[in-house]
């Protein structure tokens, strides 16, 4: 189970909930059946920017079942601009289709920050908090 670690700040977009914990880690929870397009990606970017004014953070992303992103959104979410917001990211995925998209994202979009994908939330958090 993911450590709740006393939430100190949150930002709810309806389809995405950002929660800053007192250890500085941000947990992003995405709803099921979500297709992230560029408009949603920009809303997510603005929410994350509010939570990272004091520097890049470690982010634990809990995808919903069947969460995906279109090409334009993936390019935007992997951009070098994100280095100002993201130190390191671990992403919890649930399906083979998400695993395939994750591998594609890593090879084609080449994110500007450390990122790993997991099927187990505990392992994702453990890797995120290491180093």
The CATH number covering residue 109 comes to 3.30.750
Domain that holds residue 37: 7-129
The answer to whether residue 2 sits within a structural domain is: no
Average pLDDT, integer, range 109-116: 85
Residue 6 CB neighbours (<10 A): 9
Q: What mean pLDDT do residues 94-123 have?
A: 87
Within-domain flag for 76: yes
Q: Is residue 48 part of a domain?
A: yes
Tell whether 70 is covered by a domain. yes
Identify each DSSP E strand in the chain by its residue range: 7-12, 16-21, 26-30, 35-36, 57-62, 68-69, 86-92, 114-118
pLDDT in tens, 83-93: 788 999 999 99
* Domain assignment present for 99: yes
Structural domain count, the chain:
1
Q: What is the reported pTM?
A: 0.86
Higher pLDDT, 81 or 55: 55
Tell me if 1 is assigned to some domain: no
* 117 within some domain: yes
Residue 1's pLDDT is 43
Residue 73 inside a domain? The answer is yes
């Amino acid at each position: 189970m993911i450590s709740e670690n006393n939430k100190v700040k949150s930002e709810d977009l309806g389809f995405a909930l950002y929660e800053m914990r007192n250890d500085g880690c941000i947990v992003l929870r995405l709803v099921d059946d979500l297709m992230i397009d560029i408009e949603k990606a920009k809303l997510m970017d603005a929410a994350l920017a509010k939570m990272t004014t004091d520097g890049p953070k470690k982010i634990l992303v809990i995808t919903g079942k069947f969460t995906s992103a279109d090409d334009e959104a993936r390019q935007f979410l992997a951009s070098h601009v994100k280095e100002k917001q993201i130190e390191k990211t671990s992403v919890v995925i649930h399906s083979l289709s998400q695993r395939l998209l994750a591998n594609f994202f890593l090879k084609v979009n080449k994110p500007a920050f450390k990122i790993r994908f997991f099927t187990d939330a505990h392992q994702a958090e453990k890797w995120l908090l290491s180093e």
